[in-house]
Homo-oligomer: A and B are copies of this chain.
Amino acid sequence: MGAGVASAPPRGREERLRDTRRRLETDVDLWVATSGSQDGVHLVPLSYLWDGSVFLISTPRASVTGRNLLGDGRVRLSLGTTRDVVIVDGAAEPVDTAELGDERRAAFATRTGFDPSGIAEPYQYFVIRPRRILAWREANELRGRVLMRDGSWLD
Residues of A within 8 A of B (CB): 1-5, 28-31, 33-35, 40-47, 72, 74-78, 81-83, 85, 87, 112-114
Contact = CB atoms under 8 A, between A and B. Distances in A.
Contact of A45 (B1, B41, B43, B46): B1
Contacts of A47: 1-2
A82 B33 CA distance: 13
Contacts of A35: 35, 40-41
A35 B30 CA distance: 19
6 contacts: A31-B78, A31-B82, A33-B76, A40-B72, A43-B43, A45-B85
Nearest to A29: B82
A37 to B, nearest CB: 10
Contacts of A112: 2, 4
Contacts of A2: 28-29, 47, 112-114
Contacts of A113: 2-5
B41 A75 contact: yes
A20 B105 CA distance: 35
